[in-house]
Structure 1
Amino acid sequence: IPGANVLGVAADLSDARGVDALLAGLPGNVDILVNNAGIFDPQDFFETDDATWEQYWQTNVMSGVRLSRALLPAMVDAGWGRVLFISSESARNIPADMIHYGVSKTAQLSLSRGLAKRVAGSGVTVNAVLPGPTLSDGFATMFEEERARTGKPLEQIGREFVMAHRPASVIQRAATVEEVANMVVYLASPQASATSGAALRVDGGVVDDIV
């Protein structure tokens, strides 16, 4: 964006100290908060220990709890603001091989809906975005070994993954990060002023319903 001033703060949002470090590095009030800190990795339920569950809860859920608690009051006082949670289609379509992840993403839907009701009528909107399989850095890392072994481009691996594990997909491929970002940009804009407490899907039709 021409003329934009960009500030970076390195912080680990999986614990309260990291959130405090981020907040201390902010130059002023925040108008738009996108809670996008998250981790995922397949692991069988019976091999997922308490420490892993706690890691997912702290990273995927409590990071958004802490940041929203700190930043929402100023938005309410200003009469305008946007809070977004990057959830997942796995919040509704719980993967059998990532139950710990799915549970954390379902929790984000409850959190976003509850916060929207808490700040109702304030001019601040709170929504969740539910991507499906997406060609993100995390997706690329998960399939790094397969890419090296087969020489297949990430787009092809994404398409094969979708058709094998999310066959209900209407677009029959993985989304790009830009396609997910388009929904985020809309929800963060003034044009989305009548959308709050919603869970908007960018899942390519993976969740097989009409709502």
Structure 2
Amino acid sequence: MTDRDTPADIPHFHGHRDRLRQRFREAGSDALADYELLELILFRSIPRRDVKPIAKDLLRRFGSFAEVLAAPERRLLETDGIGTSIVTDIKLIEAAAARLTRGAIAGRSVLDSWTAVLDYCRTTMAFAEKENFRVLFLDKRNHLIADEVQQSGTVDHTPVYPREVIKRALELSSSAIILVHNHPSGDPAPSSADIRMTREIMDIASPLGIEVHDHVIVGRKGHASLRGLGVM
């Protein structure tokens, strides 16, 4: 405050940023609400404005911190106060989260790191607006060789071509695969089509010595394992 400043001249959020940063440093992210974590992100791109209303508006629109990070750029830009630089910061953090969770399954048997596999699948796919079909290709030690999105579809359907999945596994000399896709509806329960497609892939893979470890479906409400459900 200068000699010329009066209380009316000082923004009501004066000092809030430093206090929030200090609380994050001292107590960690668990001590902060979702909107406060979003504020910390927004501070970078909006240096001289109260960002709490913007953070709360983002949560109202998208539902949760994770869903804000995963929201499509065009929808983020529809939010008042959100510009391209803010979207870039949000998407940078989303990419960092995906890279971090992928790193947790790299160089080790995915069957011994199943929780990390599920975390990675949910981070990268659970909040997508459209269905994506992903395959994790594994070697004989069940280490990750490749992680590829094979198909992208609509809000409730993704075309999957079983022979193309196995063809790609052979190209990569993969001994096993894990199938993953998302349900944008939020409900991860498998459909009859999901079960049928999984069995078709298994029928082609088995004679070629390729094991299908699981088919995991992720959504906002959690995940489902077809292996765990006993349907494959």
Using the size of structure 2 for normalisation, the TM-score is 0.28
Larger strand proportion of the pair? 2
- TM-score scaled by length of structure 1: 0.30
Higher Cα Rg, which structure: 2
